[in-house]
Amino acid sequence: MLNFSFVSPTRLVVGRDTHKQTGELIRQYGGTKALVHHDSGYVKTCGLVDEIIGYIKEAGVEVVELGGVVPNPRLDLVYEGIDLCRKEGVDFILAIGGGSTIDSAKAIAIGMKYDGDVWDMFIEDDGVVRAVETEPCMPLGVVLTIAATGSEASNSCVITKEDENLKRFCDNDLHRPVFAVENPELTMTLPAYQTAAGVVDIMSHSFERYFYNAKGGNEFTDRLCEAVFHTCMNCGRILVDDPMNYDARANIMVASTYSHNGLTGMGRVGDFASHLIEHELSGEFDVPHGAGLAVITPAWMKYVYKENPEIFLKWATRVMGVDMDFENPESTILQAIARLEDFFRFLGMPVRMSEMPEVGIIGEDVMRRMAERVRIVNAEDCTIGAFKHLNADDIVEIFKLAQ
Amino acid sequence: MLNFSFVSPTRLVVGRDTHKQTGELIRQYGGTKALVHHDSGYVKTCGLVDEIIGYIKEAGVEVVELGGVVPNPRLDLVYEGIDLCRKEGVDFILAIGGGSTIDSAKAIAIGMKYDGDVWDMFIEDDGVVRAVETEPCMPLGVVLTIAATGSEASNSCVITKEDENLKRFCDNDLHRPVFAVENPELTMTLPAYQTAAGVVDIMSHSFERYFYNAKGGNEFTDRLCEAVFHTCMNCGRILVDDPMNYDARANIMVASTYSHNGLTGMGRVGDFASHLIEHELSGEFDVPHGAGLAVITPAWMKYVYKENPEIFLKWATRVMGVDMDFENPESTILQAIARLEDFFRFLGMPVRMSEMPEVGIIGEDVMRRMAERVRIVNAEDCTIGAFKHLNADDIVEIFKLAQ
């Protein structure tokens, strides 16, 4: 087990009708005037935003509203939010929505405690940050409406500067939300495709941590990751036939939070190559993140498993229920990957690029362009990934396996 | 899944040499003058306390020292600590040790933010509290030296008022420690018996939550509990032959924290009958808590499993590796309980009262006396436990099974 430091101070308030507690929670965390931030989409048109604003006002907290968040949340709206909060004297930010809205809210909360340009806080292409948070951001709460990104309790925030097409991140424990309200009923009306994409994203956050290239040493964290996998697979299957199943929704929602708050990464190094490769696929073809991960993850597994077959055998036998083939361990692993693809298909996810209407059959030139563009995070050898260091040639091979 | 609210803001700092960060951590959490609290035992005589005091002073933080904590930590020392902290202008409490030292430190930290008698915060025999914390206690940190109670990140604190022989508790999220330093190397010199008793206690904290009398609904929390069980059993076995095994120590240490910080109880009701029954056994015969649990837990299981065999079958097949006997499911459960007893025996723990030199063979009159004294927490029907409500007659039967 590697040394680590981990903190996740976000209070989870989980269950039926819990969104009605939002006003009380904001007051409890010192808010007197709250910015309510959302995407102006279904959460607004279905009346949820207005219902929650009612609860906030009932608790004696004033409200300022700002909608308009888009997927890959934009810096311009963050600036607008900061200006609005300063003008109005806001002291609390509430995000109602999923990952994009939460990240936009986080960026506003960060900016509220910094005199300069909030963009200074985000990692530059040269890996340098111009300014680092040293005090907590403005208190931030979440009412979660989709289980997927884990941003409701994570320390990460991703913002896009649209004029330069720059997508950058800012990770700091000082901007973890103070509470996350998780009412599983709010996720019941999600389209099956979005539910499924969320399940894949949740699993992926723990895959990125589980497949760690070391021999043993992480019994407890291994088992925590496996808890996420089992939950996503068992409850994800239930939701295909019974999308209104409360317990299945609830378990997936809670698993989403723990899959990306850092718990499943304790004592090891994350990989995140699949995420980085998928970002390029999404960027090129505008496919949903979860669907892209359903395509890239199995291909990544097939390409890298030989680096440390033991951890793949652990997953194959404990999680995927494959009998260990002692004469031919490799077949055990390949069968487990095939079962994962079966599961993703059962959810209605694509598992090949050619199955995605947005992508189809693509040439090696396109694969190479995407591979070259993958953000190279390891400066020394210009590779991505920790389980196996991948260069652009490796990434092209993974795209071929995903074809 | 039942509605729940859960927060665990304690920062875990885990790994080799992490105790050297103690001074920096205290400073980071605002401490300028720290009370260093301990039991004046091995932690002091081996030089650890003085080593850590050195790191604290290096960080520019002043130190006041108070030793003398005893098992079942006493109110008198808490009063002494509060007086000392007030006199010296202490603004941070550091516990170096295990559950008793941490609880004593918590009580001092609570008392520092209350003008009245700190004992007012503890539950009275009539179930009433005379005063409730409404603001966080004085910031409190921990350097953990034994994995067992989970107090390093829990919201609970148990103190004994020695003149009246009253043992009372105070549970509040406002007194969770701000950090817990967990260097597994500090636990390597523990006697095998203490290590084993710790493992049983850790498992018990999740048993008390896992065996919940409802049909399904808690996939994720079930799996988190199972992560604790697997870790304790696999790593506990390793330590019998190889007590210096770093990874086994590390995994058990982290599991101890999560087994009792509330994570494994999300969305369900805890039972805690085994803990309450064991407290009487400990009180009567002065046996170590973990050893008492190794005796009481299997007996409790045998007495109650028929209330909800499904959850016991889940545990038997998933955790204990028993093949499901579909013709005779009961035998599956009984075999799993026997395997648990085998495991406890392998660790060197007793599994019958008659195997404990402090207890031996006792009469039904003694069992009845202990049973009558068990704190009755359910006012309506005067029973303990949530999985099966147990009255004094039931408790006597459990003692007989543990004979």
Give me the residue spans of the domains in chain B: 11-186, 189-401
Buried b (16+ CB within 10 A) or exposed e, A54-88: ebbeebebebbbbbbbeebbbbebbbebbebbeee
| CA dist list (Å): B252 to A39, B19, B198, B367 | 44, 18, 9, 33
Token readout for A395 is: 């990434």
Residue whose C-alpha is closest to residue A84's, from A63, A58, A61: A63
pLDDT tens digits, residue range A356-396? 999 999 999 999 999 988 866 555 677 899 999 999 999 99
Considering only CB atoms, A250 lies closest to which of B1, B184, B231, namely B1
- B47 confidence band (pLDDT: 50, 70, 90): very high
Check CB contact under 8 Å for B247 and A7: no
Residue from B206, B210, B219 whose CB has the most chain A CBs within 10 Å, to mutate? B219
**Cα-based torsion angle of the residue sequence A9, A263, A251, B208 in order, rounded to the nearest 10 degrees:** -90
B250 vs A: CB within 8 A: yes
Predicted pLDDT at B16: 98
Predicted pLDDT at A378: 53
Which residue's structure tokens are 């005199």?
A115
Predicted pLDDT at A377: 54
> CA of B44 to nearest chain A CA: how many angstroms apart?
25
Which residue in chain A has the smallest CA separation from B245? A217
A230 vs B: CB within 8 A: yes
Indicate the angle between helix axes A219-241 and A246-259, nearest 10 degrees: 150
| CA dist list (Å): A252 to A206, B122, B253 | 13, 37, 27
Predicted pLDDT at A216: 83
For residue B47, count CB atoms less than 10 angstroms from its CB and return exposed for 0-12, middle for 13-18, buried for 19 or more. exposed
| CA dist list (Å): B68 to A291, B44, B79, B123 | 60, 10, 13, 25
Residue whose C-alpha is closest to residue A293's, from A304, A282, A303, A309: A282
Give me the interface pTM, i.e. the ipTM.
Answer: 0.95
* Percentage of the residues of chain A whose pLDDT score is greater than 90: 87
Helices first, then strands: H and E counts in chain B: 14, 8
The rounded Cα B225 to chain-centroid distance in angstroms is: 15
In the predicted model, what is the mean pLDDT of chain A? 94
Q: In A, which residues are within 8 Å of B3 by CB distance?
A: 14-18
* Percentage of the residues of chain B whose pLDDT score is greater than 90: 87
A214 vs B: CB within 8 A: no
pLDDT tens digits, residue range A22-61? 999 999 999 999 999 999 999 999 999 999 999 999 999 9
Q: In A, which residues are within 8 Å of B242 by CB distance?
A: none
What does the pLDDT average to over B172-178? 94
DSSP class per residue in A95-106? EEESHHHHHHHH
Decide if B281 contacts B359 (C-beta within 8 A).
yes
Which residue in chain B has the smallest CA separation from A29? B135
Task: Characterize the bridge pairing of strands B62-66 and A179-182.
Answer: unpaired
Which has more pLDDT, B18 or A71? Answer: B18
DSSP class per residue in B272-341? -HHHHHHHHHHHHH---HHHHHHHHHHHHHHHHGGG-HHHHHHHHHHTS-PPP-SS-HHHHHHHHHHHHH
Which has more pLDDT, A133 or B42? Answer: B42
* Percentage of the residues of chain A whose pLDDT score is greater than 70: 97
For residue B21, give the DSSP letter. G
A360 vs B: CB within 8 A: no
What does the pLDDT average to over A273-283? 92
Q: What is the CA angle A179-A184-A186, rounded to 5?
A: 95
Among A11-15, A80-84, B164-168, B218-222, which is the least confidently predicted range? Answer: B164-168
Q: Specify the DSSP element, H or E, that contains A315.
A: helix A309-318
- Is the C-alpha dihedral spanning A255, A256, A262, A265 positive or negative? positive
Decide if B12 contacts B257 (C-beta within 8 A).
yes
> CA of B262 to nearest chain A CA: how many angstroms apart?
12
Residue B168, Cβ neighbours under 10 Å: how many? 18
Check CB contact under 8 Å for A6 and B16: no
Decide if B90 contacts B26 (C-beta within 8 A).
no
Residue B7 gets the label, from left (phi > 0), alpha (psi -120 to 50) or beta, of beta
Considering only CB atoms, A5 lies closest to which of B13, B184, B227, namely B13
B244 vs A: CB within 8 A: no
- Considering the segment(s) A189-401 as one domain, its CATH architecture is Up-down Bundle (1.20)
The fold for domain B11-186 equals Rossmann fold (3.40.50)
Predicted pLDDT at B373: 85
Buried b (16+ CB within 10 A) or exposed e, A222-261: bbbbbbbbbbbbebbebbeeebebebbbbbbbbbbbbbbb
3-state secondary structure B86-101: HHHCCCEEEEEECHHH
What is the Cα–Cα distance from B170 to A315, expressed in whole angstroms?
A: 42
What is the Cα–Cα distance from A402 to A299, expressed in whole angstroms?
A: 5
Strand arrangement of the beta sheet that strand B179-182 belongs to: A62-66, A33-37, A92-97, A140-144, A179-182, A4-14, B4-14, B179-182, B140-144, B92-97, B33-37, B62-66
| CA dist list (Å): B319 to A131, A218, B213 | 48, 18, 18
A6 vs B: CB within 8 A: yes
Predicted pLDDT at B130: 74
pLDDT at B294 over 60: yes
What is the Cα–Cα distance from B240 to B346, expressed in whole angstroms?
A: 8
First to last CA, chain A: 37
pLDDT tens digits, residue range B341-374? 999 999 999 999 999 999 999 999 999 999 988 8
**pTM of structure:** 0.96
pLDDT at A167 over 90: no
What does the pLDDT average to over B250-254? 98
pLDDT at A127 over 70: no
pLDDT at B378 over 70: no
Considering only CB atoms, B15 lies closest to which of A4, A18, A216, namely A4
pLDDT at B133 over 80: no
- B380 confidence band (pLDDT: 50, 70, 90): low
What is the Cα–Cα distance from A174 to B289, expressed in whole angstroms?
A: 39
Residue from B220, B233, B263, B264 whose CB has the most chain A CBs within 10 Å, to mutate? B220
Predicted pLDDT at B242: 97
Token readout for A102 is: 């939460």
pLDDT tens digits, residue range B205-216? 999 999 999 888
Task: Characterize the bridge pairing of strands B140-144 and B179-182.
Answer: parallel
